[in-house]
């Protein structure tokens, strides 16, 4: 059993691969230097080393959304689709971006 704590975890995340929604209540996990996008049932949608992921604020959206490129595929993540107020969702999105960008500059 893997007992390593994740560097970032969010549930209730809407994951879209333009132009369609893949899940309205998915999960985003960063653990051991890897990012995983998961369905609400835990099935892997996509996965890659965090250093190979590009992330930034999604254009024309609120502060709770991120544009993400994983393995050449573009996704849009919207945090806090369930059980979060807008300000909490925005803070969660900021934590996610910090985790992704922090992993990109960490030493080996």
Sequence-separated (6 or more) residues with CB below 8 Å from residue 107: none
| pLDDT attached to residue 81 | 66
pLDDT for 104 equals 57
Q: Torsions phi, psi of 58, nearest 5?
A: -75, 135
Nearest C-alpha neighbor of 46 from the set 19, 84, 91, 76: 76
Q: What is the pLDDT of residues 75-102, one digit of tens each?
A: 999 997 666 677 888 889 999 999 998 7
Q: Nearest Cα to 36, choosing from 83, 60, 84, 2? A: 2
> What is the pTM assigned to this prediction?
0.84
Give every residue of the chain whose pLDDT is below 50, as ranges.
1, 105-108
Contact predicate 45/58, CB 8 Å: no
């Amino acid at each position: 059993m893997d007992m390593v704590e994740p560097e970032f975890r969010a549930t209730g995340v809407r994951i879209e691969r333009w132009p369609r929604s893949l899940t309205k209540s998915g999960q985003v996990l960063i653990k051991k230097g890897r990012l995983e996008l998961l369905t609400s049932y835990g099935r892997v949608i996509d996965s890659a080393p965090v250093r190979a992921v590009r992330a930034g604020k999604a254009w024309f959206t609120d502060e709770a959304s991120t544009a993400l490129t994983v393995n050449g595929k573009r996704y849009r993540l919207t945090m806090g689709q369930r059980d979060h107020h807008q300000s909490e969702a925005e803070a969660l999105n900021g934590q996610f971006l910090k985790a992704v960008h922090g992993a990109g500059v960490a030493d080996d």
